[in-house]
A and B are shown apart, each in its own frame.
Chain A
Amino acid sequence: MNPPEPSTTAATRRAADYKSSRKPVWCPGCGDYGVLNSIFSALATTAIDPDRLVVVSGIGCSSRMPGFIRAYGFHGAHGRALPVAVGVKTANPALDVLVVGGDGDAFSIGGGHVSHVARRNINITYIVMDNQIYGLTKGQVSPTSDPGTTTKASPYGSFEYSIQPVQLMLSYGATYVARGFSSYPKELAAMIDRGIRHNGFSFIHVLSPCVTFNKSIGYDYYQSHVVPIPDDHDTNDIWAALRLTGDPPDTYYLGVFYEVDRPSYTDMLYKGGRRPSPEPPIDTERIIRRFS
Chain B
Amino acid sequence: MRPARSVPEGSLGGFMEAVREFVVGIGGESGEGVVLAGDILTMTAARMNIHSSSFRTFPAEARGGPSVVKLRLCLDHVYSLGDEYDILVAFNEDAYGLHGPDLAQHGVLVIDGEHDDPVQRRHPELADRIVYQIPMDRISRKDVGEPRTKNMVAVGAVSALFGFSRVMIEKNLAERFAKRSGKILQDNLNAFTAGYDYAVAHVEKHDPFELKEEEGEGFIVLSGNEAVALGSLYAGCRFFGGYPITPATEIMEILAYELPRVGGAMYQAEDEIASIGAVLGASFTGVRSMTATSGPGLSLMAELIGLSSMGEIPCVIVNVQRGGPSTGLPTKTEQADLSLALAATHGDAPHVVLAATTIRDCFEIMQLAFDVADCYQLPVIVLTEQALGFRRADLPRSLLRAKPVTSPLCPPQEIVDQALYFRYRLTENGVSARTIPGTIGGAHVVTGLEHAEDGKPAYDPPTRRAMMEKRQRKLTGVLKEFGSVKRYGDANPDIGVIGWGSTAGPIREAVQIACGAGVKAGGFVPRMIYPSPNEDIRAFIQSCKKVFVIEGNMSGQYAAFLRSQIPGFDPVVVTRYDGLPIQRGDVLKKIREMAP
Residues of A near B408 (CB, < 8 A) are 278-279
By the criterion CB–CB under 8 Å, are B280 and A87 in contact? yes
**A94 vs B442: C-alpha distance when bound (angstroms):** 17
By the criterion CB–CB under 8 Å, are A77 and B448 in contact? yes
By the criterion CB–CB under 8 Å, are A72 and B437 in contact? yes
Knowing A76-B277, A87-B279, A87-B280 are in contact, say whether A284-B238 is a contact too (CB < 8 A). no
| B198 interface residue (CB < 8 Å to A) | no
By the criterion CB–CB under 8 Å, are A90 and B267 in contact? yes
**A73 vs B263: C-alpha distance when bound (angstroms):** 25
> Quick one: which of A31-84 are within 8 Å of B by CB?
50-54, 56, 66-67, 70-77, 80, 82-84
> Quick one: which of A93-108 are within 8 Å of B by CB?
94-95
Residues of A near B258 (CB, < 8 A) are 287
Knowing A76-B307, A88-B284, A90-B282 are in contact, say whether A83-B438 is a contact too (CB < 8 A). no
**A23 vs B312: C-alpha distance when bound (angstroms):** 24
By the criterion CB–CB under 8 Å, are A274 and B230 in contact? no
Residues of B near A94 (CB, < 8 A) are 438
Q: How large is the interface on A (under 10, 10 to 19, 20 to 34, 35 or more residues)?
A: 35 or more
Partner of A292, one of B47, B263, B289, B455: B47
By the criterion CB–CB under 8 Å, are B404 and A282 in contact? yes
> Quick one: which of B173-223 are within 8 Å of A by CB?
218-222
By the criterion CB–CB under 8 Å, are A287 and B400 in contact? yes
Within the complex, the shortest CB–CB distance from A90 to chain B, in Å, comes to 5
Partner of B230, one of A71, A276, A287: A287
**A75 vs B236: C-alpha distance when bound (angstroms):** 27
By the criterion CB–CB under 8 Å, are B287 and A51 in contact? no
Closest to A286 in B: B261
Knowing A277-B263, A288-B400 are in contact, say whether A87-B221 is a contact too (CB < 8 A). no
By the criterion CB–CB under 8 Å, are A51 and B443 in contact? yes
Partner of A80, one of B47, B219, B260, B274: B274
By the criterion CB–CB under 8 Å, are A67 and B265 in contact? no
By the criterion CB–CB under 8 Å, are A90 and B447 in contact? no
By the criterion CB–CB under 8 Å, are A116 and B445 in contact? no
By the criterion CB–CB under 8 Å, are B267 and A292 in contact? no
Within the complex, the shortest CB–CB distance from B117 to chain A, in Å, comes to 41
Residues of A near B283 (CB, < 8 A) are 87, 91
| A85 interface residue (CB < 8 Å to B) | yes
| B234 interface residue (CB < 8 Å to A) | yes
| B303 interface residue (CB < 8 Å to A) | yes
Residues of A near B446 (CB, < 8 A) are 73-76
By the criterion CB–CB under 8 Å, are A291 and B456 in contact? no
Knowing A72-B443, A291-B222 are in contact, say whether A88-B400 is a contact too (CB < 8 A). no
**A92 vs B289: C-alpha distance when bound (angstroms):** 12
> Quick one: which of B32-60 are within 8 Å of A by CB?
43, 46-47
| B530 interface residue (CB < 8 Å to A) | no
| A113 interface residue (CB < 8 Å to B) | yes
Choose among B280, B311, B457 the residue with the greatest number of A CB atoms under 10 Å from its CB.
Answer: B280
By the criterion CB–CB under 8 Å, are A73 and B278 in contact? no
| B271 interface residue (CB < 8 Å to A) | yes
**A69 vs B289: C-alpha distance when bound (angstroms):** 26
Closest to A59 in B: B448
SS class, residues of chain A in contact with chain B: mixed
Residues of A near B285 (CB, < 8 A) are 54, 87-88, 91-92, 95
By the criterion CB–CB under 8 Å, are A276 and B281 in contact? no
Residues of A near B43 (CB, < 8 A) are 292
| B406 interface residue (CB < 8 Å to A) | yes
Knowing A90-B239, A278-B236, A288-B220 are in contact, say whether A283-B261 is a contact too (CB < 8 A). yes
Partner of B447, one of A54, A75, A270: A75
Closest to B43 in A: A292
**A92 vs B288: C-alpha distance when bound (angstroms):** 12
| A280 interface residue (CB < 8 Å to B) | yes
By the criterion CB–CB under 8 Å, are A278 and B288 in contact? yes
Choose among B220, B267, B275, B455 the residue with the greatest number of A CB atoms under 10 Å from its CB.
Answer: B267
Chain A 244-266 interface 0/1 with B at a Cβ cutoff of 8 Å (1 = within): 00000000000000000000000
Residues of A near B238 (CB, < 8 A) are 91, 276-278, 280
Partner of B437, one of A52, A282, A283: A52
By the criterion CB–CB under 8 Å, are A76 and B448 in contact? yes
Residues of B near A240 (CB, < 8 A) are none
**A210 vs B456: C-alpha distance when bound (angstroms):** 24
**A274 vs B260: C-alpha distance when bound (angstroms):** 8
Chain B 86-106 interface 0/1 with A at a Cβ cutoff of 8 Å (1 = within): 000000000000000000000
| B121 interface residue (CB < 8 Å to A) | no
By the criterion CB–CB under 8 Å, are A51 and B260 in contact? no
Closest to A95 in B: B437
| B126 interface residue (CB < 8 Å to A) | no
| A197 interface residue (CB < 8 Å to B) | no
Within the complex, the shortest CB–CB distance from A219 to chain B, in Å, comes to 28
Residues of A near B81 (CB, < 8 A) are none
Residues of B near A91 (CB, < 8 A) are 238-239, 265, 281-283, 285-287, 289
| B517 interface residue (CB < 8 Å to A) | no
By the criterion CB–CB under 8 Å, are A92 and B287 in contact? yes
**A279 vs B278: C-alpha distance when bound (angstroms):** 21
Within the complex, the shortest CB–CB distance from B482 to chain A, in Å, comes to 20
Knowing A54-B437, A279-B406 are in contact, say whether A74-B284 is a contact too (CB < 8 A). yes
**A14 vs B588: C-alpha distance when bound (angstroms):** 74
Closest to A271 in B: B260
**A187 vs B93: C-alpha distance when bound (angstroms):** 76
By the criterion CB–CB under 8 Å, are B262 and A83 in contact? no
> Quick one: which of A155-198 are within 8 Å of B by CB?
none
**A91 vs B238: C-alpha distance when bound (angstroms):** 8
**A73 vs B284: C-alpha distance when bound (angstroms):** 10
Residues of A near B447 (CB, < 8 A) are 67, 73, 75-76
Partner of B281, one of A84, A274, A282: A84
By the criterion CB–CB under 8 Å, are B270 and A71 in contact? no
Within the complex, the shortest CB–CB distance from B302 to chain A, in Å, comes to 11
**A54 vs B285: C-alpha distance when bound (angstroms):** 9
Within the complex, the shortest CB–CB distance from B305 to chain A, in Å, comes to 10
Residues of A near B46 (CB, < 8 A) are 292
Within the complex, the shortest CB–CB distance from B21 to chain A, in Å, comes to 21
Within the complex, the shortest CB–CB distance from A276 to chain B, in Å, comes to 4
Residues of B near A52 (CB, < 8 A) are 437-438
| A19 interface residue (CB < 8 Å to B) | no
Residues of B near A116 (CB, < 8 A) are 269-270, 274
| A225 interface residue (CB < 8 Å to B) | no
Residues of B near A80 (CB, < 8 A) are 273-274, 277, 304
**A213 vs B14: C-alpha distance when bound (angstroms):** 88
Residues of B near A285 (CB, < 8 A) are 401
By the criterion CB–CB under 8 Å, are A77 and B281 in contact? no
| B439 interface residue (CB < 8 Å to A) | yes
* Further 10 A-B residue pairs, CB within 8 A, beyond A87-B278, A282-B233, A292-B219: A76-B280, A84-B280, A87-B279, A87-B285, A91-B265, A112-B274, A116-B274, A274-B263, A284-B402, A291-B220
Interface residues of B (CB under 8 A from A): 43, 46-47, 218-222, 226, 230, 233-234, 236, 238-239, 241, 258, 260-265, 267, 269-271, 273-289, 303-304, 307, 311, 397, 400-402, 404, 406, 408, 437-449, 455-457
Give 6 CB contacts A-B under 8 Å.
Answer: A51-B438, A51-B443, A52-B438, A87-B282, A113-B274, A279-B406
3 residue pairs, one from A and one from B, having the closest CB atoms: A87-B281, A83-B277, A73-B445
